[in-house]
Structure 1
Amino acid sequence: MPEHVFVDESKTKGLLMAATLCPAKEVNGHRRTMASLLMPRERRIHFTKESPARRRKILAVIAELGLVARLYQADRNDIAARAGLSGGHGPGHRKLGGAARGRA
């Protein structure tokens, strides 16, 4: 079955990348669900701008979607680790937690 992969990253303390797989037939429904969480005049959800209570609400909705996420982390100054993310085995590369059901 075809899948879509959604990826986001944070470069605050090194590189943290999250990748979520979603079956193609569920993408439109999940997009509608996420769009329903947008506040007026918002184009996207950005956690750094959300209150703790709103973050909990968003995470609860995401957890209900039942998606699988993988997290990858690389050290900030390790250029080889960043290059290794594409192959998954570079020096300094570390996969965190494997597949986490319901956590994105």
Structure 2
Amino acid sequence: MSLHAFVDESRRNNTYLLGVAVVSPGQLTKLRKLLMGLRMPNQRELHFKKETPARRKQILSALTSAVVHVDIYLACCRRGKNGQGRPVSRD
């Protein structure tokens, strides 16, 4: 059985978040229709950064009916000498 995975990332100061949504092939068309139906007229994509708080609530409310498995990964980063972030142990 194949699955579809959709990934998005975000960084807030020293915290790096990675969200992964996994959708079964049988639910993919239904989910795409749901998401496309949530767009405003002439809106090409949904992006939380561009949405108002009221719209974010509307979108999240609609997504609660979707059959999707979501995992969120969190990493803390420190800046190394080369400027690259790296994971930090939370021991």
What is the TM-score with the length of structure 2 in the denominator?
A: 0.80
Kindly provide the CA deviation profile for residues 38-92 of structure 1, in whole angstroms up to 9, marking residues without a partner as x: 11221111112211111111001111103211111111326442xxxxxxxxx53
Letter of the structure 1 residue corresponding to residue 36 of structure 2: A
| 2:28 is the counterpart of 1:31 | no
Q: How does 1:77-88 map to 2 (within 5 A)?
A: 77=78, 79-81=85-87
What's the counterpart of residue 100 of structure 1? none
Which amino acid counterpart does residue 62 of structure 1 have in structure 2? L
Provide structure 1 residue ranges, at least 5 long, that are not aligned to the other structure.
82-90, 94-104
Quote the RMSD (CA, aligned, Å). Answer: 1.7
SS in 1 for 2:22: strand
Kindly tell me the number of residue pairs found equivalent between the two proteins. Answer: 84
Structure 2: tracts of 5 or more residues without a match: 80-84
CA contact 1:80–1:92 (8 Å) conserved in 2: no
TM-score (norm 1): 0.71
What is the match of residue 52 of structure 1?
A: 53
The whole-number CA distance in structure 2 between the counterparts of 1:60 and 1:16 is: 22
The 2-side partners of 1:28 and 1:6 are apart by 14
- Does the CA contact (< 8 Å) of 2:21 and 2:70 recur in 1? yes
Kindly indicate which of the two structures has a greater share of residues assigned to strand. Answer: 2
Structure 1 stretches (4+) deviating beyond 3 angstroms? none
Report the structure number with the largest CA radius of gyration: 2
Distance in 1 between the 2:44 and 2:78 partners?
A: 33
